[in-house]
Amino acid sequence: MQLHNLKYTKGSRGHKTKTLGRGYGSGMGKRSTRGQKGQHARKSGNVRQGFEGGQTPLYRKIPKVGFNNTSYKTNYWVFTTDQLSSLKVDEINPKILLSKKMIKKSQKAKIKIIAGKKPLKESLTVSAHKFSESAKKLIIDNGGKVTILNK
């Protein structure tokens, strides 16, 4: 390899930009490819996002009601007693739900149990962060145990 054999790799040099507004002889003179008149022919023809030509923009027409601070929101994985009975396990806790791939460890959400439509057939020992009153009653009436977790 010698200096006179070196070549640029294809695509490394980009393409030459148009030189605008340098007289008729350049082929891109006078109006510099901007057309004749109008907003886009002006030097400051580009307007901000959401600008509607002076008319009241949509973001100012829409009402801004309420405030929803989701940074302190507690997220729950919600399971019905029907889903728990279909697991065919007598003890249910977050570790078992994780091993059955019903919850993800990456999402730090708590577990809530609600009552299902079908009556329970077996007694369950359930550990969760929250229970609906009907789910708690359904589990206890069927001979199971309810444990509320504090994490």
pLDDT tens across 93-151, in order?
999 999 988 998 877 889 999 999 988 888 999 999 999 999 999 999 999 999 999 86
Q: Which long-range contacts (CB under 8 A, 24 or more apart) does 113-117 make?
A: 113/78, 113/79, 113/80, 113/81, 113/84, 113/139, 114/78, 114/79, 114/80, 114/81, 115/80, 115/81, 116/80, 116/81, 116/82, 116/83, 116/85, 117/80, 117/82
Report domain extents, the chain: 75-140
Q: What is the architecture, at CATH level 2, of domain 75-140?
A: Ribosomal Protein L15; Chain: K; domain 2 (3.100)
Count how many Cα atoms sit within 13 Å of the Cα of residue 1 in the half-sphere of its side chain: 2
pLDDT tens across 34-78, in order?
889 988 888 888 888 998 988 999 989 988 888 777 888 888 999
User: DSSP letter at 122?
Assistant: S
